[in-house]
Structure 1
Amino acid sequence: MSTYSDLESSVHGGRPVELFRFVHGTTVWTYSSGPEIEHGGETYAHFPIGRDDIQQTKELHKSPLEVLIPRTSELSLLYLAGNPEHIITLTVFRFHVGASDGPVVYWKGRIVSCDWPDPATASLKCESVFTSLKRPGLRARYQRPCRRALYETGCNVDKAAYAVAGTVSAINAAKTVLTVAAADALADGWFSGGMVETPTGGFLFVTAHAGSSLTLANTCALAVSDAVTLYPGCARNRETCKNKFNNILNFGGWPWIPLRNPFDGRSLV
């Protein structure tokens, strides 16, 4: 029986399949570009997933990778709510159907960003483990609005304390507006900039809230009668931080920045 190396170098005998393993904290997603596969005690389900070619550069081990997945998948929905709480790592395994040996690690790194090039696709931009420090870079900015991500480290607002459970009673044809009766109990705009947590654990970003209607940033895969959890948004100013979340001690903005640059050579008096 042929080995992986034999089939990988074969002109026409190879039948490659790739396995994609994403890890976010304690959550693991395992997908196969071919048939369902058992590997390492985990099931890699068949999934519409693909990637671009690994670039042949002088520093091959630093080459970036783009992975394409459905826009409605859990990973895509996770990024709609902003940057995930943890670094999401990706390991790509590769093997050939019929090979005598198992999958080999073909690429390993982390997701650095996600965008949506068309209505059906999400594009995950990944960097190699050789260039990743597995921590966010310096991102604090001297600005009037709060620089912190709502509910995350630094903000420290307890997300569970503001959760509102509800049920989807209607969805528009475009799958971008939900009707959730529980939202009507809060003032209009309370959930604007917030999130809807789906039954699968994914998050949808809310752009507008009026009554029981929640407008989403993108299409969703929810259905009528689905149970959801709503989380309010933040306007990132001192008033909202103090009055809505009682969190003024963690406000990360500088609202009194001078309108004029004190270093432009002009007198301030």
Structure 2
Amino acid sequence: MAECFRFYMGSQEWAYTSDRREIAIGPTTYSPKAIQRSELNFEFEKQEISIKMPYDLSPADLFILFNPSTVLWLEIKKSSGALVFVGKIVSCSFDIDLAEATMKAISIQALMKGKIPTRTYGASCPHELFDSGCGLSSATWAVLLNTSSVTLDSGRRIFTSAAIGGYASQYFAGGYVTLSYQSSYIINQTGGQITLLFPLLLWADDMSLTVYPGCDKTLSTCENKYNNIINYGGCPWIPTRNVMTQGF
């Protein structure tokens, strides 16, 4: 029986079938492509699957330069509509000779085996900026830009904006940007120029680009930059000297 593969990332979706004809399941139409999967391992801790497809078929082509900054999910169904697999794409490799991409996915059940980190105590704050522990609203601190007024370099990792130039250098360092379903970490900001960790591949005029400042998790930044010291979660007066090994 033919199978149907639906990849989705944010609002983006790609739907293919191993059949020779289009298949419609609910609102989704699956296009016929040269796509196949490996056998599914049903062990709870190793529920994984491999998908082979042409290397230039989306979304495999998104992995050619960099891994996407947004999680890519996979849903596999029988042509009858029966659900076979739901999971997360964790890697993609390419065979140039065969012009083929192999994507590896792990199931939601396998993802659940990961350990949930507990809170750690140290001088720096354990909260993430804008999370429930931090308490600040990301919308309050967001800077909204229009891509028509932003200059992006050919590598799609550095952009310049006059609006960003109004902020102190490194104000946005450690923060992130969002553009449609994409996001990327900010590794540097000098004047109006921002350098990103991952390129923004989806870019066109008149799109909304949102820039968020960063936090180095120090008491000084929490107090002076964000005026949020009441929610600071670190213990800045923990001694840095280990008296058990170094003495008093």
Q: TM-score of the superposition, structure 1-length normalised?
A: 0.66
Structure-to-structure mapping, 1:24-43, within 5 angstroms: 30-34=13-17, 38-40=24-26, 42-43=27-28
Structure 2's unaligned 5+ residue stretches are 52-58, 95-100
Q: How far apart, CA to CA, are the structure 2 residues paired with 1:47 and 1:177?
A: 38
From 209, 216, 221, the counterpart of 1:240: 221
Q: How far apart, CA to CA, are the structure 2 residues paired with 1:236 and 1:154?
A: 13
User: Which residue is 2:4 aligned to?
Assistant: 17
Q: How far apart, CA to CA, are the structure 2 residues paired with 1:244 and 1:78?
A: 28
Q: Deviations over 1:159-197 (max 9, x none)?
A: 000111223321111111011221111111111111222
User: Which residue is 1:218 aligned to?
Assistant: 198
Q: How far apart, CA to CA, are the structure 2 residues paired with 1:55 and 1:104?
A: 15
Q: How far apart, CA to CA, are the structure 1 residues paired with 2:190 and 2:232?
A: 26
Question: Could you tell me how far 1:230 is from its partner in structure 2?
Answer: 1.3
Q: Deviations over 1:66-118 (max 9, x none)?
A: 6774249xx93336xxxxxxxx97543233xxxxxx23211134x4x967889
Q: Deviations over 1:101-147 (max 9, x none)?
A: x23211134x4x967889xx9x77634437627x9713422232222
User: Which residue is 2:38 aligned to?
Assistant: 53
User: Which residue is 2:55 aligned to?
Assistant: none
Q: How far apart, CA to CA, are the structure 2 residues paired with 1:117 and 1:150?
A: 34
From 171, 177, 188, the counterpart of 2:158: 177
Residue 70 of structure 2 aligns to a residue whose secondary structure is helix
Structure 1's unaligned 5+ residue stretches are 5-14, 80-87, 96-101
Structure-to-structure mapping, 1:1-269, within 5 angstroms: 4=1, 15-20=2-7, 30-34=13-17, 38-40=24-26, 42-43=27-28, 53-54=38-39, 56=41, 59=43, 62-65=46-49, 69=60, 70-71=62-63, 76-78=68-70, 91-95=75-79, 102-109=80-87, 111=88, 126-129=106-109, 132=112, 137-168=116-147, 169-198=150-179, 200-221=180-201, 222-223=203-204, 225-262=206-243, 264=244, 266=245, 268-269=247-248
Across the aligned residues of Structure 1 and Structure 2, the Cα RMSD in angstroms comes to 3.9
Contact 2:48–2:107 (Cα < 8 Å) also in 1 = yes
How many residue pairs were aligned? 225
Residue identity over aligned pairs, in percent, reads 22
Question: Could you tell me how far 1:52 is from its partner in structure 2?
Answer: 6.8
Residue 242 of structure 1 aligns to a residue whose secondary structure is helix
User: Which residue is 2:98 aligned to?
Assistant: none
Distance change (3 Å), C-alpha of 1:131 and 1:211? closer
